[in-house]
Structure 1
Amino acid sequence: MTETTADETMHLQGLKQPAEIRVDRWGIPHLKAENEQDLFFVQGFNAARDRLWQLDLWRKRGLGLLAADFGPGYLAQDHAARHFLYRGDMAAEWSSYAPDTQAICTAFATGINAYITLCQAEPARLPLEFSFFGTSPARWRPEDVVRVRTHALTRNGASEILRANILTLADAQTDLLRTQIEPHVDLKVADGVALADIPLAALRLFKLATAPVTFERERLAATLDDVWTWTEVTDLGDIIRATSEEGSNNWVVHGSRTETGRPILASDPHRAHAVPSLRYLVHLQAPGFNAIGTGEPTAPGISLGHNGKAAFGLTIFGADQEDVYVYETREGEPDLYRYQDGWEAIRRQEERFEVKGYADQTLMLAFTRHGPVLHEDAGKRLVIALRSVWLSPGSAAYLGSLSAMRSPSVAAFGTSLRSWGTPSVNHVCADVDGNVGWFTAGFTPVRQNWHGLLPVPGDGSHEWAGFLPAEELPRVVNPAAGFFATANEMNLPADRSPDAPTIGHEWAEVSRAERIKSVLSADTAHSTEASMALQMDTYSSPAGRICALLAEAIGRKGAAIVREKVAALLDGWDFRLTADSNIAALFEVWWMKHLRPALFARFAPNPAVRALLVPGDVDVLLNLLEHPDQRFGQPAEEARDTMLLETLAAAFDDCSRRLGDDPSRWAWGTLHHALFEHAASRVKQDKTGEWNVGPLPVGGSRSTPGLASYRLSDFRVTAGASVRLVIDVGEWDKSFCINTPGQSGDPRSPHYADLAERWSGGEYVPLLYSDEKIAAETDHHILLLPA
């Protein structure tokens, strides 16, 4: 332990030996303990110190305990969440991640509880949200860390139901406007399944279980009569966008292509923006283990960062981890469904729910052998259920990190990924010996007779044959190109056999990946500064491709049709969506509010179908523009040109209404801004102070490496990189990071919003690792002693 005077000294029951927390001036806590049990105890204690309201809300949401604090308006969400809890063998669960998982989670939960005990003794420490809502933090059990699954990203159950509805109303070609299928396969409806019988209502339970917690005055005031009016807490479009826009970038560059000769690793996961941030930077140090990076505050360990020997980062990989099953029920006995040569009973389970202001309520949960029941229609003798890897031991989100984060080399890291269940990810890794690697990981069901793109019968004819062995998922060590980059694109090896088991067929658009790989290919002396710039890169490939078509259309038709000043505005643009760019504002308004809707209207004339396609598959839409077919009309190229010019003129007028008549004063960041909205902000009184952070003007879009997805209604940024890491492998103190809006979730903390301006401006802060550097930048020192 470093011998300096502590700003605070705390005596904690459950701590075995002295430990310390050093918070640097950017809010990053550096935790040091004399043994690993104390270390994870301190991690839980410190997470609660900074994020207790967030931890408590996540736990209650995941376990289905919200109604006890917030009333009947949350009972339907509790009911939904309970369907997706892990209910299997806990011995198998504990052994799935690492040999000491149970001990780690026990220490972590004990640490959280120690801070709750401290708050009871010193109420001034309790976050303001508890007094505002009149609630109290609940104590954690070790199994709470692993049983909750619904905050993880899996796919593609919702997509299967959407596809079934689109195919009922239109055709497979129309569904490609929503998401293309790679590798391509011909869709085949399984015998015994009628797609018209699969309603969008079958999505409701899943949507509700995975939705964030929202607070509205009407919801908080709901009575028991209103319980089932609060089942649509999120729009269908939110589910579609979450699938298509929450991803990540990462890359690793071999020392042969860097200016220092050391590898560089960069990772910036993209998720929904909120305050506090989804991620939490932390440094964990005990004898034999010294790791720094980020994870989710509700989980022990880190999932991105380094351990002094190896660095690691991740992005989402498009493995298909869900299937929708359709069952025939027995005539007159709707609780029995056909399975193989007989009938099985739906397992119905009563559970008790506490409800604020009311007596406890008892609700029924329903499961088939494959998973939770999503929908029942006795008239059609139909039941629909979801099978997910969530129900298997070892699929708590990111808990595979408990093995991976302790790997001393790229080779050992790859071996550790046998323990990685969810989410399915692209890992990049680099070690101090100069090795770099890419490993895909995640439980990937083996489907022997279908591709996982449409609902299938639950009668036993379509069963998973286990999971693909981790070693059979794509991976590369020391790639010939000298670097490897991923951005959620389709990156299955080109030489993978078409007869090999399905891994996945739905991926993010390729724009970000192509841009990142292009920049890295051209850079033979890469640096950490270059990696930071690339993480913030706002080059838009769609802008370049569409503007090239526009120039050709103007050449054929003349600029007069779109007005000279509009054409002149776009001429010579570098296709960068910077926050201060007036042309970026015009392009994004044109592309997303006028040209894209015009394409949907042309190719999907049914409004009900169009509602299921938004935001659309960018690669498919761009291909339609570049290669117009008969669906544009005859002649197709002329019809396409007319659409380009007319929608651009409309977009110019739209920008004038939104931003004023002087185009030189337009700016993308005026429309496109990040507001980090506190969950309670819609019901909070001003007297408690401002809990939202922003708005902050930002550049980029969903198609740029610096991803900044936005709501189509008003351009507010909803998802992107909250945390960014750039790691100099071997010279650890020369690594950089940023989190936003700040490290702390307590509005009273100086670290609640202190990183937001830096983040929006593309700045980073040091990711300090050595004791000497940390001591020099310590802003707050907490000494922890056994009680």
Structure 2
Amino acid sequence: DLYLLDLNPVDAERYWHRGRWKTFERRQVTLSPKGAAPRTVTLRWSVQGPVIAHDPARRRATALAHVSQRAGASGVFAMAAINLARDWQGLQAAFRLHPSPTNFHYADIDGHIAWRILGFAPRRMGGHDGMTPAPGDGRYDWDGLLPVEQLPSIVDPKAGWLASANQDNLPKDYKPILAYSFREPWRYDRVVEVMEGQPRHSLTDSVALMQDVASTPARRFVSLIPDTVPDAAVAAAALLRDWDGVLAADSAAAAVYELAWADLEQRIHNIVVPAKLREWVPLFEIGAILSLLESPDKRLGPNPKGSRDLIVAMALAAGWEEAERRLGPEPALWRWGTLHDTVIRHPLARRSPMIAAAFPPIEVGGSGGDGTTVNARWLRGDLSVAGGASYLQAIDVGGWDDSLFLNLPGQSADPKSPHYADMAQPWIEGRMLPLVFTRERVEVEAAGRVYLDPA
């Protein structure tokens, strides 16, 4: 949370808090940047936390309250405690040490499953929700943290399974509101669809579900294609009408859909958002766009349904034209994976030739899926892969040696190691690898040994 502090007009090292002037805690440090002279800066703290802006001329300072700076916040200690716990009850004490917001899923050899939200959650005073900066005069301070026992949890649900996929999974009546930055529920909804259709769920089923690239938004888009479209949209409409909405890497329909959707998003944005606000409202959620198209209203003009059909048709035509431009003149050769390519680059490679030479790009290959599929793949503006499910694991609880995993691009961070990128190809293929557990299996599977000499 951000707090706006009023500075004393005579002494800018004091701020108003709960009816009196208080003095910042201060510390001076010397910075020695490369190629520049050392300089001394003053670090300040208010009762809320570190001061990130100090402007005596405006009599204003800004302080930051963050859970990572609360007493006892240590993810390292929390993970050590979690790993030492023997059962669900024993985990509760470890959970109290875990500062970052986390969905924690649990299963044990006795058949119990559970879920709990972890993390330091502030008690905000004055009805403040944390969404905007608040006056730092004490009315909206944090009043400690919520006990972890008061955070949402589920133990042994009747359905027999639990899932989370970055969706809003807080109970609807839960107070206080803990977070707002959830993703749309497409991936979770697909998990529900699959799980409810399976009387039993195996390790193989878990692997298949993690690799699932069926897109609910794609299916809903296809249902909006008009029976009659202009000539420019006929080919795209014909390709998509019988498509199942699976964003497979080798799918031509998936490529046309993604290109058409990108065009449609921009069209809806230009229609609905006034020009002067477009900088501040750069995008819509997919669900909002689909809801508008499925139930068109006056925002689309005096003939909403007619406008909707025309918008969809124009997007289809634009998608087809863009596919021809980017993928060539032969639709039989179009592939979603050609556009949705995965290349891993060091984040500093563009700024440092030395880093770029030491960490060359890893060409992983064309991927299926997008940000709406269980097998998550976020999109860049050019539709290449920006990120997604880089680590996957399917654990056989009790039969630990049968567990499977993938870790993109490999198990080593050293580009000279043979294990630096040896999981890139299995990852793009969805081919899970053994995650062995017992000493006996580790000895069998070991490819080498690394000895650490503290001397």
Q: CA deviation at 1:639?
A: 2.3
Q: Distance in 2 between matches of 1:576 and 1:545?
A: 12
Cα deviations across residues 516-545 of structure 1 (Å, max 9, x unaligned)? 111111112211111111111111111111
Contact 1:409 / 1:430 at 8 angstroms: preserved in 2? no
Q: Distance in 2 between matches of 1:488 and 1:687?
A: 33
**Counterpart selection for 2:417 from 749, 765, 776:** 749
Tell me how large the CA RMSD over aligned residues is. Answer: 2.4
Show the counterpart of 2:39.
Answer: 361
Contact 2:348 / 2:355 at 8 angstroms: preserved in 1? no
Show the counterpart of 2:375.
Answer: 706
Contact 1:414 / 1:439 at 8 angstroms: preserved in 2? no
Show the counterpart of 1:539.
Answer: 214
Q: CA deviation at 1:671?
A: 1.2
1:677 partnered with 2:345? yes
Going from structure 1 to structure 2, the CA distance change for 1:395 and 1:642 (only over 3 Å counts) comes to farther
Q: Distance in 2 between matches of 1:675 and 1:376?
A: 42
1:691 partnered with 2:366? no
Q: CA deviation at 1:582?
A: 1.2
Going from structure 1 to structure 2, the CA distance change for 1:687 and 1:502 (only over 3 Å counts) comes to closer
Q: CA deviation at 1:769?
A: 1.1
Cα deviations across residues 308-351 of structure 1 (Å, max 9, x unaligned)? xxxxxxxxxxxxxxx12223334465444332222334445332
Q: CA deviation at 1:512?
A: 0.5
Q: CA deviation at 1:374?
A: 3.7
**Counterpart selection for 2:66 from 388, 392, 397:** 388
**Counterpart selection for 1:339 from 2, 9, 17:** 17
Show the counterpart of 2:427.
Answer: 759
> Could you tell me which amino acid in structure 2 is paired with residue 328 of structure 1?
D
> Could you tell me which amino acid in structure 1 is paired with residue 104 of structure 2?
H
Going from structure 1 to structure 2, the CA distance change for 1:642 and 1:528 (only over 3 Å counts) comes to same
Show the counterpart of 2:288.
Answer: 620
SS in structure 1 of the partner of residue 99 of structure 2: coil
Q: CA deviation at 1:579?
A: 1.1
Show the counterpart of 1:776.
Answer: 444
Q: CA deviation at 1:502?
A: 2.5
Cα deviations across residues 69-108 of structure 1 (Å, max 9, x unaligned)? xxxxxxxxxxxxxxxxxxxxxxxxxxxxxxxxxxxxxxxx
Going from structure 1 to structure 2, the CA distance change for 1:432 and 1:353 (only over 3 Å counts) comes to same
Going from structure 1 to structure 2, the CA distance change for 1:411 and 1:669 (only over 3 Å counts) comes to same
1:569 partnered with 2:239? yes
SS in structure 2 of the partner of residue 563 of structure 1: helix
Q: CA deviation at 1:571?
A: 1.4
**Counterpart selection for 1:656 from 290, 311, 324:** 324
Q: CA deviation at 1:490?
A: 1.2
Q: CA deviation at 1:739?
A: 0.6
SS in structure 2 of the partner of residue 549 of structure 1: coil
**Counterpart selection for 2:182 from 481, 492, 507:** 507
Cα deviations across residues 327-378 of structure 1 (Å, max 9, x unaligned)? 3334465444332222334445332223234443323334332223344555
**Counterpart selection for 1:519 from 164, 189, 194:** 194
> Could you tell me which amino acid in structure 1 is paired with residue 69 of structure 2?
L
Contact 1:446 / 1:502 at 8 angstroms: preserved in 2? no
Show the counterpart of 1:471.
Answer: 149
Q: CA deviation at 1:583?
A: 1.2
Name structure 1 gaps, 5 residues minimum: 1-322
Q: CA deviation at 1:693?
A: 0.7
Show the counterpart of 1:727.
Answer: 395
> Could you tell me which amino acid in structure 2 is paired with residue 697 of structure 1?
G
Q: Distance in 2 between matches of 1:371 and 1:606?
A: 39
Going from structure 1 to structure 2, the CA distance change for 1:615 and 1:412 (only over 3 Å counts) comes to farther
Going from structure 1 to structure 2, the CA distance change for 1:396 and 1:620 (only over 3 Å counts) comes to farther
Alignment of 1:604-615 (within 5 A): 604-606=273-275, 609-615=277-283
Alignment of 1:244-323 (within 5 A): 323=1
Alignment of 1:145-156 (within 5 A): none
Contact 2:233 / 2:320 at 8 angstroms: preserved in 1? no
Cα deviations across residues 215-244 of structure 1 (Å, max 9, x unaligned)? xxxxxxxxxxxxxxxxxxxxxxxxxxxxxx
Cα deviations across residues 703-761 of structure 1 (Å, max 9, x unaligned)? 1110010211x223122122111000000110001111111111111111111111111
Q: CA deviation at 1:658?
A: 1.4
Q: Distance in 2 between matches of 1:651 and 1:430?
A: 45
1:452 partnered with 2:130? yes
> Could you tell me which amino acid in structure 2 is paired with residue 706 of structure 1?
N
Going from structure 1 to structure 2, the CA distance change for 1:413 and 1:563 (only over 3 Å counts) comes to same
Q: Distance in 2 between matches of 1:783 and 1:335?
A: 53
Going from structure 1 to structure 2, the CA distance change for 1:762 and 1:612 (only over 3 Å counts) comes to farther
Show the counterpart of 2:265.
Answer: 596
Contact 1:447 / 1:502 at 8 angstroms: preserved in 2? no
Going from structure 1 to structure 2, the CA distance change for 1:767 and 1:385 (only over 3 Å counts) comes to same
Going from structure 1 to structure 2, the CA distance change for 1:615 and 1:409 (only over 3 Å counts) comes to farther
Tell which has more relative contact order, 1 or 2 (C-alpha 8 A, sep 6+): 1
1:324 partnered with 2:2? yes
1:425 partnered with 2:93? no
Alignment of 1:404-415 (within 5 A): 404-415=82-93
SS in structure 2 of the partner of residue 325 of structure 1: strand
1:483 partnered with 2:158? no
Q: Distance in 1 between matches of 2:146 and 2:355?
A: 53
SS in structure 1 of the partner of residue 163 of structure 2: strand
Alignment of 1:230-249 (within 5 A): none
Cα deviations across residues 272-300 of structure 1 (Å, max 9, x unaligned)? xxxxxxxxxxxxxxxxxxxxxxxxxxxxx
Q: Distance in 1 between matches of 2:252 and 2:115?
A: 39
SS in structure 2 of the partner of residue 519 of structure 1: helix
Q: CA deviation at 1:661?
A: 2.0
Q: CA deviation at 1:403?
A: 1.2
Going from structure 1 to structure 2, the CA distance change for 1:384 and 1:689 (only over 3 Å counts) comes to closer
Q: Percent of aligned pairs with the same residue? A: 33
> Could you tell me which amino acid in structure 2 is paired with residue 617 of structure 1?
E
Going from structure 1 to structure 2, the CA distance change for 1:655 and 1:375 (only over 3 Å counts) comes to farther
Show the counterpart of 2:253.
Answer: 583
Q: Distance in 2 between matches of 1:661 and 1:687?
A: 35
> Could you tell me which amino acid in structure 2 is paired with residue 758 of structure 1?
P
SS in structure 2 of the partner of residue 619 of structure 1: helix
SS in structure 2 of the partner of residue 728 of structure 1: coil
Alignment of 1:620-639 (within 5 A): 620-639=288-307
Cα deviations across residues 617-662 of structure 1 (Å, max 9, x unaligned)? 2333332332333322223232222222222212221222111122
> Could you tell me which amino acid in structure 2 is paired with residue 427 of structure 1?
F
> Could you tell me which amino acid in structure 2 is paired with residue 372 of structure 1?
P
> Could you tell me which amino acid in structure 2 is paired with residue 699 of structure 1?
G
Show the counterpart of 1:217.
Answer: none
TM-score between the two structures when normalised by the length of structure 1: 0.55
> Could you tell me which amino acid in structure 2 is paired with residue 646 of structure 1?
M
Show the counterpart of 1:492.
Answer: 170
Q: Distance in 2 between matches of 1:677 and 1:549?
A: 38
1:736 partnered with 2:411? no
Going from structure 1 to structure 2, the CA distance change for 1:396 and 1:634 (only over 3 Å counts) comes to farther
Going from structure 1 to structure 2, the CA distance change for 1:686 and 1:389 (only over 3 Å counts) comes to closer
TM-score between the two structures when normalised by the length of structure 2: 0.92
Q: CA deviation at 1:680?
A: 4.7
Going from structure 1 to structure 2, the CA distance change for 1:458 and 1:356 (only over 3 Å counts) comes to same
